[in-house]
Structure 1
Amino acid sequence: MRPEEWIAHDPDPVTAAELAARDADELAARFAHPMTFGTAGLRGPVRGGPDSMNVAVVTRASWAVAQVLKDRGLGGSTVVVGRDARHGSDAFASATAEVIAAQGFSVLAFPHPVPTPVVAFAVRHTVAAAGVQITASHNPASDNGYKVYFDGGLQIISPTDRDIEAAMAAAPPADEIPRESVTATGTELVDAYVQRAAAVRRGAGSVRVALTAMHGVGGELALRALHLAGFADVHTVASQFAPDPDFPTVAFPNPEEPGATDGLLALAARVGADIAIALDPDADRCAVGIPTVAGWRMLSGDETGWLLGDYILAAMPAGQAAASVVASSVVSSQLLAAIAADHGARHVQTLTGFKWLARADAGIPGAKLVYAYEEAIGHCVDPAAVRDKDGISAAVLACDLVAALGMRRDSVPGALDGLALRHGVHTTAALSRRVEDPGQAAAMMARLRAHPPVQLAGFPVTASDLLEALGQQRTDALILAGGDEQTSVRVVVRPSGTEPKVKCYTEVRRAVAGELTAARRAAAEIQRELLDAARGW
C-alpha cells in the first residue's frame, strides 16, 4: 500500500496527520519494512505507518488473527483481549476486541489494564482459541506491542506467525475493516488468576517484602496474591506503584537496567525486608533482591532460576521428579541441568524466548513441564496454569523460598553456597556489543563463524553453529565451549532480536577443590578474560 493510500484509510486522524507531515524520505523509511512477529509478537514505537504501533496496524493484525483462526476451523470460538497501561493501549485493545468480534468471535475483554500473565492464564483457563495482549513489556515509554497466544495460552510460533503476517499483507484498508462493540467482562478471571498465583506457595512462615511495580500494571495484583498467600508484611515503592506510561523515575523500565532498582533496594534496607521484588511493567518478569553481609544486591536471572528450580524439584514427592521437565534457554546457565539430574528430573534446553520454553515438554511421552526460566528474569513456576513467564507467581514462590530458608535458619546466600558445593561454582555475565544496523551484526557473526577462537581464557574451545542445527534448534547463534577437568568455559554469541546489539553470554564453571571463596575468585577472573575477549570480536 502506498503512503498516500495508507494515510487516506488511516482510521486515526492523529496518526494520519502525523504521517501527512513527514517528508518523502521519512515516509519511504516507514513503509520499507512493515512490522513482523518477532520474539514476543509485534513491537515498536507508537506512531503512524506500517512499521509502527497504531490503530491501523492493530486493526489489520486483528483482522488477520481472525482469518487464521477461521482457516483452522475455529470460527465463532472465544478470544481473550487484554492490555497494559502504555500509551495507546486502550485504543489498541478496543480495536482488537471490536475487529475480532465483528468476525464472529466471542470476545472476553478485560475492563481495566492487566498484567500479561493474566491473559495467558485466561486463555488456558477458559479454553479460548486465542488471546491478544497489548503490551511492550519493559521497552521504553515510546513503544507498544501486540502479543498473540494460541494453543492453550502459548505464544505463537511458525507457521502461525507467518500465516498472520500473510493475512495482514492481504488485509483490507484499516477503515474498511468492520468493528463491533464489545462489553467488557467482569473480574472473575482476574480473581481466579490471583487465587492460582497465591496457590504456588508450598510452605509456611512469614517474610517482610519490599516490592516495586516499576510504574506498571502488576502492583495491585501482586499485593493481592502475596496477601492471599500469607505474606501480609509488604512495603511498596510508592513513587513507582501506580501505572504511569511515562515511567518517570527510571531511564528504562527494566529491573535489569543499572539504577532501575535503586529505590527498591533503598526501601528494603530502610524497612528491614527479607526479600525485594521488582516486577517489570507488564509483570511477566520478576527480579529478586536479597540482603547480604555486604548490603543488598539483586540476584541475576540465572541465580533466581537455580534457586527456584531446585526448590520446586526438592519439594516433589518421591518418584514424581522422573516424570518432570525443567527447561532453560540456550543463553542461560548450564547449572539447571545439573540440578535436574541431581533430583532425577529431565532438563531441556531451548532457543531463547518463552514461546520455546513453554513447549519444552512437547514430544516427551509421560513428561510434564514443571518449571522454566531464562536469564532475562523470566520464570514460569506454574506451567499448568500459565504457559508463559509470570512475574507475580514467581514473586510468591520466591517469598515462599525465603520463608522456608528462614525457618531452617538458612538464607539465600547459604542456599547459593550449597548449590556451588554440590555442582561447582557457576558465574554468568552478559556483554552487549552495539551495532549501527543488522548488516553490521551479520558481519560480526560472519567473522566469528569464519575464524572462531580456538582458545578462551587459556582453555581450548570448540565452536557449535546453531545455524547448522535442525528444526526448532536452528537459530543465528554460535556457542564456544571447552575447558579442562577443573574448569568449563562457555560463550554464546547471537544478534538481538529486538535491539541493535550483538549479545555475548558467558559462563564459567569452576570445581570447588578447597575454599569456596577461592573457587569463586578464580571463576570471576576467568570470566573477566572471557568478557575481554568478547569485546574484541
Structure 2
Amino acid sequence: MTPEEWIAHDPDPVTAAELARCDPAELTARFARPLTFGTAGLRGPVRGGPDAMNVAVVLRATWALATVLTGRGVAGSTVIVGRDARHGSAEFCVAAAEALAAEGFSVMQFADPVPTPVLAFSVRQTGAAAGIQITASHNPPADNGYKVYLDGGIQIVSPTDREIEAAIDGAPFADEIARAPVEPAGAELIEQYIDRAAGLRRSPGPVRVALTALHGVGGAVAVETLRRAGVHDVHTVAAQFAPDPDFPTVTFPNPEEPGAADAVLALAADVDADVAIALDPDADRCAVGIPTPTGWRMLSGDETGWLLGDFTLSRTEPSTLATSVVASTVVSSRMLASIAARWGAHHVETLTGFKWLARADAELPGTSLVYAYEEAIGHCVDPAAVRDKDGISAAVLACDLVATLKGSGASVLDALDDLARRFGVHVGAAVSRPVADPDRAAALMRRLRAAPPTKLVGFASATTDLMSRTDALIFTGGDAGTSVRVVVRPSGTEPKVKFYIEVRSGTRPHAAALCDELAAAVRSW
C-alpha cells in the first residue's frame, strides 16, 4: 500500500492530516517497517502510519485476527477486548471491538480501563476464543500497543503471530473494514478476578503496605483485592493513584527505572510499612520494596522471583511436588533451578517473554505450572487462573510472604540470606546499549557472533548461540566455586541491546566485584 493510498483511506482525519504534512523522507521512514508482533504484541508510538499505533493499524490488525480465527473454525465465538488508560486506548479498544462484531464474533468489551491480567483471566475463565488488550504496559507516554491472547488466555507465539501479520498484508483499506456497535459489558469478570486473586492469601497475620499504581490502571483493583485478602492496612501514593496517560511524576513509568519507586519508598518509610508494592501502568508487573538497616530499597526482579518461587513450592502439597513446574527465562537468574531441585520440582528455562513462560509445562506431560517469573518484575503466581504475568496477584502473594515471615520473627532480608546460604550468593546486573534502530542492533549481534569474547573476568568463555530459537547469545565461564554468565539479546520493545549478567560465588563481596567488572567489560563489546 502506498503512503498516498494509506492517507486517502485513513479513517481518522487527525492521523491522515498528520501524514499529509510529512515530508517525503519521513513518509518513507514510516512506511519502511510496519509494526510486527514482538515480545509483547504490537507496540509503537501513537501517530499516523503503519509503523505506529493508530485506528487504521488497529482495524487492519483486528480484521486479520478475525480472518485467522475464522480459518481455525471458531467464527462467531467470543472475543474479549480490554484497554489501559493510555493516549488512544479508548478509541483503539472501540475500533477493535466493533471490527470483530462486524465479522460476526460475540464481543465482550470492558466498559472501563482494566489491568492486563484481568483480560488474561477473563479469556481463560470464559473459554473465549481470543482476547485483545490495548496497552503499552511500562513504555513511555507516547506509546501504545495491541496484545493478543489465545489458548486459554496465553499470549500468541509463532506461527500465529506470523499468520496474523500475513493477513494484515492482505487486509482491506482501513476505512473499508466494517464496524458494528458493541454494548460494553458489566463488571462481573472483574469481580471474579478480584475474588480469585484475594484467595491466594493464607497467612492471617497483619501486614502494612505502601502501594503505588504509578499513574496506571491497577490501583483500585489492587486495593480492593488486598482488602478482600484481609490486608486492610494499605497506604497509597495519592499523586500516582489515578490513571494519567502522561505519567507526570516519573521520568519513565517503569518501577525498575531509577527514581520511579522513590515516592512509594518514601511513603513506606513514613508509615512504617512492612512492604512496598509498585505496580507498572497496566498492573501486570509488580516490584517489591523492603526495609533494611540502611533504609528502604527495591528488590530486583530476580530476588522477588527466588522468594516467591521458594514460597510457592513450600506451600505446594508434597505429593504433587514431583509434578510441579516452576519456570524462568534465559535472561533470569539461575537460582530458581536450584530451588526447584531442592524441593523435588521441575524447572524449565524458556525464551524471554511470558508467552513462553506460560507454556513452560507444555512439553512435560502430567505436570502443572505452579509459578513462573522473569527478571523484569513479571510474576505468574496463579497459573491455573492467569497464564500471564500478574502484578496484583503477585502483590497478594508478596504480602502473604511478608506476613508469614513476620509471624515467625523473620524478615525478607533473613529469607534472602537463607537462600544465599543454601544455593550460593547470586549477584546480577543488566546493561543496556541504546541503538538508533533495529539494523544497528542486528549489526552488534553479528559482530559478537563473529568474534565472541574469549574471557569473562579471567575465566575461559564458552558460547551458546540460540539463533535457531531466538536472537540471543549466552557466554559462560567459571570454576568449582564461581560461575559467571552473560546473555545478550536485542530488546523486543525498545531500541537497545541488553546484556544480562549473573555471578554466583561463595561470598557477596567477591560476587559483587566480579559482577561490576563484567558489567564494565560488556559496555565495550
Which of 476, 492, 515 lines up with 1:497 in the alignment? Answer: 492
The equivalences for 1:159-170 within 5 A come to: 159-170=159-170
Counterparts of 1:29 and 1:535, CA distance in 2:
29
Aligned to 1:7: 7
Q: CA deviation at 1:112?
A: 0.4
**Alignment of 1:520 onto 2:515:** no
Q: CA deviation at 1:6?
A: 1.0
The equivalences for 1:175-324 within 5 A come to: 175-324=175-324
Q: CA deviation at 1:242?
A: 0.1
Please give the secondary structure, in 1, of the residue aligned with 2:145: strand
Aligned to 2:93: 93
Which of 505, 510, 535 lines up with 2:523 in the alignment? Answer: 535
Q: Indicate the larger mover: 454-463 or 142-151.
A: 454-463
1:246 aligned partner, one-letter code: D
Aligned to 2:134: 134
Counterparts of 2:441 and 2:8, CA distance in 1:
37
Counterparts of 2:131 and 2:300, CA distance in 1:
30
Counterparts of 1:305 and 1:221, CA distance in 2:
23
Q: CA deviation at 1:117?
A: 0.4
Counterparts of 1:31 and 1:479, CA distance in 2:
34
Counterparts of 2:438 and 2:100, CA distance in 1:
35
Q: Deviations over 1:30-64 (max 9, x none)?
A: 11111111111110000111111001110111111
Amino-acid identity (%): 70
Counterparts of 1:128 and 1:442, CA distance in 2:
38
Aligned to 2:125: 125
TM-score calculated relative to the size of structure 1:
0.97
Task: Give the conservation status (yes or no) of the 8 Å contact 2:40–2:492.
Answer: no
Consecutive unaligned residues of structure 2, counting only runs of 5 or more, are none
Q: CA deviation at 1:27?
A: 1.0
Counterparts of 2:442 and 2:171, CA distance in 1:
32
Counterparts of 2:236 and 2:201, CA distance in 1:
21
1:530 aligned partner, one-letter code: L
Counterparts of 1:37 and 1:246, CA distance in 2:
25
Q: Deviations over 1:302-351 (max 9, x none)?
A: 00000000000011122211100000000000000000000000000000
Q: CA deviation at 1:443?
A: 2.4
Aligned to 1:444: 444
Aligned to 1:516: none
Please give the secondary structure, in 2, of the residue aligned with 1:319: helix
Q: Indicate the larger mover: 303-312 or 522-531.
A: 522-531
Aligned to 2:65: 65
Q: CA deviation at 1:158?
A: 0.8
Counterparts of 2:452 and 2:13, CA distance in 1:
53
**Alignment of 1:28 onto 2:23:** no
**Alignment of 1:370 onto 2:383:** no
Counterparts of 1:447 and 1:48, CA distance in 2:
35
Task: Give the conservation status (yes or no) of the 8 Å contact 2:274–2:402.
Answer: yes
Q: CA deviation at 1:442?
A: 2.2
Counterparts of 1:435 and 1:97, CA distance in 2:
36
Aligned to 1:152: 152
Counterparts of 1:525 and 1:99, CA distance in 2:
56
Q: Indicate the larger mover: 456-465 or 55-64.
A: 456-465
Aligned to 2:345: 345
Counterparts of 1:441 and 1:122, CA distance in 2:
37
Aligned to 1:382: 382
Q: Indicate the larger mover: 110-119 or 491-500.
A: 491-500
Counterparts of 1:363 and 1:333, CA distance in 2:
22
Counterparts of 1:363 and 1:295, CA distance in 2:
44
Counterparts of 2:317 and 2:153, CA distance in 1:
28
Please give the secondary structure, in 2, of the residue aligned with 1:436: coil
Counterparts of 2:154 and 2:307, CA distance in 1:
25
Q: Deviations over 1:389-408 (max 9, x none)?
A: 00000000000000000000
Q: CA deviation at 1:209?
A: 0.1
1:320 aligned partner, one-letter code: T
Q: CA deviation at 1:254?
A: 0.3
Q: Indicate the larger mover: 478-487 or 444-453.
A: 444-453
Counterparts of 1:192 and 1:125, CA distance in 2:
9
2:508 aligned partner, one-letter code: R
Counterparts of 1:284 and 1:296, CA distance in 2:
23
Counterparts of 2:128 and 2:436, CA distance in 1:
42
Please give the secondary structure, in 2, of the residue aligned with 1:304: helix
The equivalences for 1:319-334 within 5 A come to: 319-334=319-334
Please give the secondary structure, in 1, of the residue aligned with 2:355: helix
Q: Deviations over 1:384-428 (max 9, x none)?
A: 000000000000000000000000000000000000000110011
Counterparts of 1:486 and 1:7, CA distance in 2:
62
Counterparts of 2:58 and 2:52, CA distance in 1:
10
Task: Give the conservation status (yes or no) of the 8 Å contact 2:306–2:336.
Answer: yes
* TM-align CA RMSD: 0.8
Please give the secondary structure, in 1, of the residue aligned with 2:461: strand
Aligned residues: 525
Aligned to 1:509: 504
Aligned to 2:430: 430
Counterparts of 1:483 and 1:218, CA distance in 2:
43
1:524 aligned partner, one-letter code: A
Counterparts of 2:437 and 2:193, CA distance in 1:
41
Q: CA deviation at 1:449?
A: 1.7
Consecutive unaligned residues of structure 1, counting only runs of 5 or more, are 512-518
Q: CA deviation at 1:23?
A: 1.2
Counterparts of 1:430 and 1:11, CA distance in 2:
42
Task: Give the conservation status (yes or no) of the 8 Å contact 2:327–2:373.
Answer: yes
Aligned to 2:354: 354
Q: CA deviation at 1:532?
A: 1.4
Counterparts of 1:480 and 1:175, CA distance in 2:
50
**Alignment of 1:174 onto 2:169:** no
Q: Deviations over 1:203-258 (max 9, x none)?
A: 22011000000000000000000000000000000000000000000011000111
Please give the secondary structure, in 2, of the residue aligned with 1:284: coil
